Amino acid sequence: MKRFWGFVIKEFYHIFRDFRTLLILFGMPAVQLLLFGYVITNEIKDARIAIYDQSKDEVTRRISEKILSSGYFLLDKNLQSIQEIEPVFKKGKVKLVVVYEPKFAEKLQKTGVANVQIISDASDPNTANILVNYAQGIINNYLVSINIGQVTMQIIPEIRMQYNPELKGVFMFVPGIMAMLLMLISALMTSLSITREKELGTMELLLVSPLRPIQIIIGKVLPYVLLAFADACIILLMGKFVFGVPIQGNVILLLAESLLFITMALSLGILISSITSSQQVAMTLSLVALMLPTILLSGFIFPIENMPVVLQWLCQAMPPKYFITIIKAIMLKGNSFIFIWKETLILIGFTTLFILISVKKFNIRLA
C-alpha cells in the first residue's frame, strides 16, 4: 500500500510539473465557462435602430425617448424619407426601424387609434423577433401609462420582417454553417498536408527540391482550393433548392467571395501545419482552435453586440465573422460589392498575413 501511495504522489508531481497538463485541467474549463457564460444569452442590448418620424409631435417624441432609454436600443440615425429604410438596412448596422405615421398624436387624441410600423432586419430571425418584442413591449408600457381615464387609446404596431418575412431559421443557419464547414474542412485538410510529409519522411525531399517555399505552399493549397470550392457550390445549391434560401445578389460575386474565404482558410491550415510536428496535433489544433470560436465568436448564432467589450474585440479577429456578413448581404439583401468592400479587404488581409507567416516558417526550416 505504501508503494501504491508513493506511485500516486509521483503522478501528482508529474502533473504539476507539466504546464500543458495544468492548462488543460484548469485553464480550458475556466475559458470555456467564461465564453459560454458571456456569449450564450437571449438578451440583446444596444441594438442600433433608425427612426422615421413623420409626425414629430410630443407623443412620438416620448415613445422614442422611452425606446432609447430602455437599454435595448441605440439611435443610429433619424431618417428623412421612406426611401432611406432599404439603404440603411443594407449597410448592416441598423437592426430595427420605427416609422410613425403622419399626425400621430392628433389621430390618437381624436380617434383613440394611431399606427406605428416596426421593420426589422430578419436576416437573423432570432434577433429580429426579440427586438420586435422589445419594441412592442415598450410601446404597450407607454399605453398603460396614458390609459388612466375612461378613454382607452390604442397604438397599433404593424410588423414587417425585412428579407425573411416568414422568420425561417434556415436563412440564418445556411450562411453560418457554410462559413463553419468551409473553415473547418479547408483548414483541417491543409493542416494535415505538411505534417503528413513530415511523418512520412518526405519533407526533406521537398526542402532540397528546386521549388521555393512560396511554390511549395501554393502547390499544397491549390488542389484543396478547387475541392473546397466544389463544396461551397454544393452548399449553395442545397441551400437554394432544398431549403429555399434565396440568392438575391450577384452569383459571380458570391462565388468570388467564397473562393476568397476558402483561400484564407486553406492558408490558415498551411500555417498550422507548418508549426506542428504531427498530424494528430495539427488535427486537434484545427478542430479545437477553430470550431469553438467559429460557432461562438463569429456572430453565427449569438449577436456580437451582446458580448462584453473584450470579447467583441476578439470577434474582430475571427475571419468567419466577415464571411458570414458577406454571405448574408449577398444572398438575403442582394447587396453589391459597394456594401461589402471592407469585409472583403479584411479577408484579403488575413489571407496575405497567413501566407507570409507560412513562407517565413518555411524559410526558417530551410535555414
In this structure, the answer to whether residues 99 and 174 fall within a common structural domain is no
28: in domain: no
In this structure, the answer to whether residues 250 and 291 fall within a common structural domain is yes
9: in domain: no
Query: Where is average pLDDT lowest: 168-172, 213-217, 292-296, 360-364?
Result: 360-364
Residue at a domain's end among 97, 129, 162? 162
Residue 4 pLDDT: 67
In this structure, the answer to whether residues 351 and 210 fall within a common structural domain is yes
Please say whether the beta carbons of 120 and 161 come within 8 A.
yes
Residue 181 pLDDT: 85
Name 50's Cβ contacts closer than 8 Å, sequence gap at least 6: 75, 76, 77, 78, 79, 84, 85, 88, 94, 96, 97, 98
Residue 226 pLDDT: 85
257: in domain: yes
Residue 155: band (very low, low, confident or very high) from pLDDT cuts 50, 70, 90: confident
In the chain, how many domains are there?
2
Select the more confidently predicted residue: 151 or 283.
283
176: in domain: yes
Residue with cell 399626425: 103
Per-residue b/e over 324-351, b at no fewer than 16 CB within 10 Å?
Answer: bbbbbbbbbbbbeeebbeebbebbeebb
Residue at a domain's end among 145, 162, 179? 162
Mean pLDDT, all residues of the chain: 83
In this structure, the answer to whether residues 142 and 258 fall within a common structural domain is no
In this structure, the answer to whether residues 315 and 276 fall within a common structural domain is yes
In this structure, the answer to whether residues 152 and 249 fall within a common structural domain is no
186: in domain: yes
In this structure, the answer to whether residues 147 and 86 fall within a common structural domain is yes
Residue 103 pLDDT: 92
Q: How many CB atoms lie within 10 A of CB 255?
A: 15
Query: Where is average pLDDT lowest: 50-59, 114-123, 136-145, 283-292?
Result: 283-292
Residue 207: band (very low, low, confident or very high) from pLDDT cuts 50, 70, 90: low
Select the more confidently predicted residue: 184 or 37.
184
Select the more confidently predicted residue: 196 or 362.
196
In this structure, the answer to whether residues 292 and 324 fall within a common structural domain is yes
- The pLDDT of residue 116 is above 90: yes
Residue 13 pLDDT: 74
Name 95's Cβ contacts closer than 8 Å, sequence gap at least 6: 47, 48, 49, 120, 121, 127, 128, 131
pLDDT digits (tens, 9 = 90+) for 231-274: 899 999 998 998 889 999 999 999 999 999 999 988 888 888 77
In this structure, the answer to whether residues 355 and 216 fall within a common structural domain is yes
Residue at a domain's end among 124, 139, 162? 162
Whole-structure pTM value: 0.83
pLDDT digits (tens, 9 = 90+) for 321-332: 999 999 999 999
332: in domain: yes
In this structure, the answer to whether residues 226 and 309 fall within a common structural domain is yes
Give me the domain span that covers residue 256. 170-366
Q: Residue 81 has which C-alpha cell? A: 424619407
In this structure, the answer to whether residues 127 and 188 fall within a common structural domain is no
27: in domain: no
192: in domain: yes
The amino acid at 342: K
In this structure, the answer to whether residues 361 and 236 fall within a common structural domain is yes
Cα–Cα distance measured from residue 233 to residue 238, given in angstroms and rounded to the nearest whole number: 9
pLDDT digits (tens, 9 = 90+) for 87-115: 999 988 899 999 999 999 999 888 889 99
In the beta sheet, which residues pair with residue 74? 48
Strands 113-121, 96-100: pairing is antiparallel
For residue 25, give the DSSP letter: I
Q: How buried is 224 (Cβ within 10 angstroms: 0-12 exposed, 13-18 middle, 19+ buried)?
A: buried
Torsion angle, alpha carbons of 158, 164, 167, 173, to 10? -150
Residue 327 pLDDT: 94
